[in-house]
Amino acid sequence: MFQPSNQVPGQPTPLSVQDPAALMQVDKKEASVVVQDEVKTGGFSQAESIIYYTKKLQDDLQMMGMKIKQHEDNIKLLKSQKHKLDDSILDLQVILGKYHTSTTPKIEDDGHSRRKSEEETTEKILQHEKSAAGILWQLKTRHGTQAALLSPIKDVVGIVGMLGKVEDDNLSRIFSEYLGIETMLSIVCKTYEGVKALEVYENEGCIKKSAGLHGLGSSIGRTLEGRFQVICLENLRPYAGASVPDDPQMRLDIIKPSLFGRLQVYKTRADMVPALPCISDGAISLDGGMIRSTGVFSLGNREDVDVRFPKLSATSGLPENYLESERQINELKWKKDKLQEDMKSEQSLLDNAKFNFDRKKQDFLKFLADSSSYVTQHQLYAPQSRMTPR
């Protein structure tokens, strides 16, 4: 508030400012008068700083408050979207639950069929009793989970023929034929150290029959003969750093470490012909056509590879809307996970914005206290004409 003091004729009326915020309530003309008077009294820089920094701190606080409001609105929106996804997922799960309740015997039959297919593949591997895969699987059959603790094979992931599954017999036959029996019986290891543990050598470079997989084979009465193929996952091409373009799940664009690479699958041989310029890593057709690589064709009758990939649970009896519901559930769950990540990020931004706001608020209050002390000690003068009440 402005308070006139005892006036001496011919002298300006002194004004005292009790509230520093009043500096911001003076209009531009009054502010210019204050500045002019301050120039005369030598206090121009202090008064100008008070007005400038008061306005600046107020603007900063307002901007920070708007950011806090924005993050709060974003979190509110994300929570609303998450609730809608939860409801949609629940509705679809209810539909699938009703189907499972009405078709329990069929689902049990599917599980039995899958187990039977895996057992058939296991039996075929065991028939190759002198192969590395046959010995490895024999150890697993005899010793169960303890076999995985044996030093030579503790790094082994499995056998190629047991690491993949297909939907029907035809695909199993075609893919197995494409890879060939040697690859189907290949052992897969995590690291190169695991590869070295499978076979140990004497000083002359001869295989040490009492160690590695050879030694384990001898312990169960099996002699490992011939060469065997081992795949080392550690030595496969690493991740390049990008994601698959336009992929709704944002999957990493990893060079596929599988044995099929960019193998293409067509319905018929005739369908493969127009696509020849686009085939780089091989192609197969459901009627038996096979291209090993660019310009290399496999002709003649099909080769019957006894070790084949096991089949998945049968899905041919499932209604189309069931499979579509499963797909929708998976997609909604992915969206939900993405929303939760966004909510976590927004919450972190909100916490940081509130922290900065509180710190700036303390700076503002401290500035007001300091400037109030200054204004109290230095009276600001204005001409008599400016004392006319409004």
Q: Spell out the alpha helix ranges (H) of the chain.
A: 22-25, 28-41, 44-102, 104-127, 132-143, 160-163, 169-179, 181-184, 192-198, 212-219, 269-272, 320-377
In a domain, 59, yes or no: yes
How many angstroms from the chain centroid is the CA of residue 120? 37
Same structural domain for residues 92 and 175?
Answer: no
Same structural domain for residues 329 and 213?
Answer: no
d(CA 135, CA 218): 9
pTM of the model: 0.49
In a domain, 314, yes or no: no
DSSP 3-state assignment of 284?
strand
Q: How many residues does the chain have?
A: 390
In a domain, 311, yes or no: no
Residue 58 has pLDDT above 80, yes or no: yes
Per-residue pLDDT, 40: 42
Q: What is the mean pLDDT of the chain?
A: 76
Q: How many domains is the chain partitioned into structurally? A: 3
Q: What is the pLDDT of residues 174-224, one digit of tens each?
A: 888 988 999 899 998 888 898 999 999 988 888 888 898 998 888 888 888
d(CA 229, CA 184): 9
Residue 379 has pLDDT above 70, yes or no: no
- Structural domain range at position 104: 1-117+319-390
Residue 145, exposed/middle/buried by CB under 10 A (0-12, 13-18, 19+)?
A: exposed
Same structural domain for residues 219 and 339?
Answer: no
Same structural domain for residues 39 and 89?
Answer: yes
Q: Going by C-beta distance under 8 Å and a sequence separation of 6 or more, which residues neighbour residue 266? A: 272, 275, 283, 284, 285, 286, 289
Same structural domain for residues 4 and 94?
Answer: yes
In a domain, 122, yes or no: no
